[in-house]
């Protein structure tokens, strides 16, 4: 259910929100409250749920939204032709429908913007990828594309999906962790027979005990 700390958890892990207590460990290294650009260098990438206000700059060009990490982490020498080729290659690989790489990002549909942002984060080849509500607002076609991409990349990196949609979590997740009122009420391997109804009962039991 939305509003139980999913987005705050992603932001805390990725250094977008200060964590007052507890620790974030990456391969045993304490990275608590480390800035996002430092976390990227260590192999952690994230796509927050706010596509328009946080994950992208819709008034910037399609190209700029794709190459931002390369530019900020690539040092002083920037080859524009190489960046153009990189952007066009990613757009082609992920089937993003667009006019020109120099068009503003707001010219893209919601589904195509989502594919652009996913391609950008995956292309950085992180060890761990955090995804906030990746299926939100997608039509059936783009939802199928998303699931196909997730099935492929989870063989290459650890993917943590933050979602309020239990049915989607059960469809794409190998392990399910459910939070209610900021607490973990279920943590287990996804298995045949595990259902939204079963998890709902666990949530009701946990919230009932806390009252």
For the chain, percent of residues with pLDDT exceeding 70? 93
**Residue 192 falls within a domain, yes or no?**
no
Mean pLDDT score across all residues of the chain: 90
* DSSP structure class, residue 106: G
Higher-pLDDT residue of 101, 139: 101
The structure tokens listed for 113 are 């913007």
Asked if residue 19 belongs to a domain, the reply is yes
The arithmetic mean of pLDDT across residues 74-79, rounded, is 63
Looking up residue 154, the CATH number of its domain turns out to be 3.40.50.300
Residue 155 belongs to a domain: yes
Report the largest interatomic distance among the alpha carbons of the chain, rounded to a whole angstrom: 60
Higher pLDDT, 198 or 133: 133
Of 69 and 88, the one with more pLDDT: 88
DSSP 139: -
In a domain, 195, yes or no: no
Residues in the chain: 211
Structural domain contains residue 91: yes
- Adjacent-strand bridge partners of 103: none
Strands annotated E in 63-153: 128-132
CA distances from 122 to 118, 163, 186, 187, 196 (A): 6, 19, 28, 26, 29
Average pLDDT over residues 94-115: 96
| d(C-alpha 170, C-alpha 199), whole Å | 10
Rounded Cα distance, 76 and 192, in Å: 52
The pairing of strands 128-132 and 158-162 is: parallel
Structural domain of residue 44, as residue ranges?
Answer: 6-173
Number of domains the chain contains: 1
Residues 6 or more apart in contact with residue 107 via CB below 8 angstroms: 62, 98, 99
pLDDT of residue 3: 65
Q: What is the pLDDT of residue 183?
A: 79
Residue 199 lies in a domain: no
Mean pLDDT of 182-186: 81
**If residue 26 lies in a helix (H) or strand (E), which one and from where to where?**
strand 25-26
Nearest to 176, CA basis, from 156, 200, 140: 200
Domain presence at residue 203: no
- Give the model confidence (pLDDT) of 26-52 as tens digits: 999 999 999 999 999 999 999 999 999
Q: Which of 193, 162, 189 is nearest to 176 (CA)?
A: 189
- Note the pTM of the prediction, 2 decimals: 0.89
- The DSSP line for 168-191 is HHHHH-SEEEEEETTEEEEEEE--
- Residue 132 scores a pLDDT above 60: yes
CA angle 115, 99, 79 (to 5 degrees): 80
Is residue 210 pLDDT above 60, yes or no? no
**Residue 29 falls inside a structural domain:** yes
């Amino acid at each position: 259910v939305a509003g139980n700390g999913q987005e705050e958890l992603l932001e805390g892990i990725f250094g977008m929100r200060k964590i007052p207590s507890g620790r974030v460990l990456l391969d045993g290294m304490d990275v608590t409250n480390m800035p996002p650009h430092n976390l990227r260098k260590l192999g952690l990438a994230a796509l927050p749920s706010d596509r328009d206000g946080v994950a992208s700059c819709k008034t910037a060009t399609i190209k700029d939204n794709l190459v931002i990490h390369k530019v900020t982490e690539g040092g002083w020498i920037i080859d524009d032709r190489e960046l153009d080729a990189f952007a066009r290659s990613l757009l082609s690989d992920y089937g993003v429908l667009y006019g020109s790489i120099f068009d503003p990002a707001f010219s893209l549909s919601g589904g195509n913007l989502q594919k652009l942002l996913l391609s950008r984060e995956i292309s950085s080849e992180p060890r761990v990828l955090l995804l906030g509500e990746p299926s939100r607002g997608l039509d059936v076609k783009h939802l199928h594309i998303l699931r196909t991409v997730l099935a492929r990349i989870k063989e290459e990196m650890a993917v943590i999906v933050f979602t309020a949609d239990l049915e989607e979590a059960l469809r794409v997740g190998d392990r399910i962790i459910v939070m209610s009122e900021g607490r973990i009420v279920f943590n287990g391997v996804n298995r045949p027979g595990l259902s939204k109804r079963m998890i709902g009962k666990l949530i009701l039991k946990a919230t009932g005990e806390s009252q």
